Amino acid sequence: MDRADLVVVANRLPVDRDDDGGWRTSPGGLVAALEPVMRRADGAWVGWPGKPDMALEPFDFDGVHLVPVTLSAQDVAEYYEGFSNDTIWPLYHDVIAAPRYRREWWNTYVEVNRRFAEAAVDAAAEGATVWVQDYQLQLVPKMVRERRPDVTIGYFHHIPFPAYGLFSQLPWRRQVVEGLLGADVIGFQRPADASNFARAARRQLRSQTRAGGIQVQNDDGSTRVAIAKAFPISIDASSYIELAQREDVRARAAEIRADLGNPEKILLGVDRLDYTKGIRHRLKAFGELLRDGRLSVERATLVQVASPSRERVDAYVQLRDEIELMVGRINGTYDTMEHTAIRYLHQAFPREEMVALYLAADVMLVTSLRDGMNLVAKEYVATRTDNRGVLVLSEFTGAADELSSAIQINPHDIEGVKDAVMRAVDMAPAEQGRRMRSLRKRVLEHDVAAWSRDFLDALAQARKANAS
């Protein structure tokens, strides 16, 4: 293939191996957002195929040119599980778990970022746009710029960016800021994240910042302005609405209620099994409501989906043990022959089953301690075409900035969480309808297509500004 005018660089390719050894499109909002844009632009996607030591030549799939980057088992252990998920992830999520700073992990992170950058440079046409995705690749923008000053570079940060007091712990903080400032547009989920990054640039590089613009000195001594601002990501809302209206999905939702003993209210939590998601806080609040007699298992069941995540990282192994112990203790105390307090599901489900769960749930509990966005909240809202259901939403999610009609909570305040759950359980249909209509308007108007369009428009403006 000829070189591409749009190159997306992400940790993973947008495909997974199927059982027959072929390829299928990966689930996920980012893939749904970018695939149509990539097809229109004859774009290329640079990423890891998902298995160690899988060496593949570039290939085309479903109208997109895919450029695989090979990672060894050691690369995966040090760059991905180590630096990305045991250093950056906990540091950027308010040090909920302690980050580990290991020099060999950093060295591998630099080397792997260089490999991604080189693949992007090789795939990009003259004057192309290169769009780098997320915290695993924070050094790539600068590396691409050093090799290809002709391209326009965007970077989108899907997770929170921490306050400077936390970020400054990172031994390689200056290199990370310089890496990100290689981009022309640096996108974040919330305005607060963009402000945190601008402060890091001021403190580390003495950069001048004004109205979202950060002055950057190029290698040749000239200056340019990098834009750092919020572009809150969203979902492909229409696909969730379509599923929610299918008869088989609606029948499955009714079946789920029946299987749970037709409780008056179903409460639902859907998360990756991650310490940032506040699952322990949610279980504690629910257990105390049962203990206090404010709820009973006949009236309410909590369904907790906790899909497996990073199972080789110690903090996640410990978290799973703690949560399973809590669930067992609560169920052992409050279950009856007909009703269970918590239905705990440590597994991933296809999208149809998730939509059926959303339709079955009267209350959606999102209790994250820190979250870049939390798309589950938006998925729940999109499926509620009946304008019923209540969203209880942590104020520490990016979604809280947009979904102001949810019942917002501080998940650390267990009494406050309990009161919010009771308010949701007791909410009259008229108030549910009022709130849900407002939430749905926001999610439907600001979908994932609008997100990618806004970001690419900002990149086009940056290209014009830098050319003048």
CA end-to-end distance (rounded Å), the chain? 32
Cα separation, 301 vs 267, in Å, equals 6
Contact 118, 69 (CB under 8 A): no
- pLDDT tens digits along 355-395: 999 999 999 999 999 999 999 999 999 999 999 999 999 99
DSSP state of 406: S
Contact 393, 330 (CB under 8 A): no
- Residue 262, pLDDT above cutoff 80: yes
Cα separation, 149 vs 146, in Å, equals 6
Q: Which residues of 437-468 are buried (b: 16+ CB within 10 A; e: fewer)?
A: eebbebbbebbbbbbbeebbebbeebbeeeee
- pLDDT tens digits along 89-105: 999 999 999 999 999 99
Mean pLDDT of the chain: 94
Of 278, 305, 269, the residue nearest 395 (C-alpha)? 278
Q: Which residues, other chains included, contact 324 with Cβ-Cβ below 8 Å and sequence gap of 6+?
A: 344, 346
- pLDDT tens digits along 293-341: 999 999 999 999 998 877 777 778 888 999 999 999 999 999 999 999 9
- Residue 38, pLDDT above cutoff 90: no
- pLDDT tens digits along 420-459: 999 999 999 999 999 999 999 999 999 988 999 999 999 9
Inter-CA distances, 23 with 20, 357, 382, Å? 8, 28, 29
Please compute the mean of the pLDDT values over residues 139-146 and round it to a whole number.
Answer: 97
- Residue 143, pLDDT above cutoff 80: yes
Please compute the mean of the pLDDT values over residues 457-468 and round it to a whole number.
Answer: 86
Predicted local distance difference test score (pLDDT) of residue 29: 64
Predicted local distance difference test score (pLDDT) of residue 322: 94
Of 420, 422, 368, the residue nearest 395 (C-alpha)? 368
Contact 196, 163 (CB under 8 A): yes
Cα separation, 155 vs 207, in Å, equals 19
pTM (2 d.p.): 0.94
Predicted local distance difference test score (pLDDT) of residue 116: 98
- pLDDT tens digits along 45-91: 999 998 999 999 999 988 889 999 999 999 999 999 999 999 999 99
Predicted local distance difference test score (pLDDT) of residue 468: 66
Please compute the mean of the pLDDT values over residues 238-260 and round it to a whole number.
Answer: 96
1 falls in which pLDDT band (50, 70, 90)? low
272 Cα distance to chain centroid: 10
- Residue 120, pLDDT above cutoff 70: yes
Predicted local distance difference test score (pLDDT) of residue 2: 78
250 falls in which pLDDT band (50, 70, 90)? very high
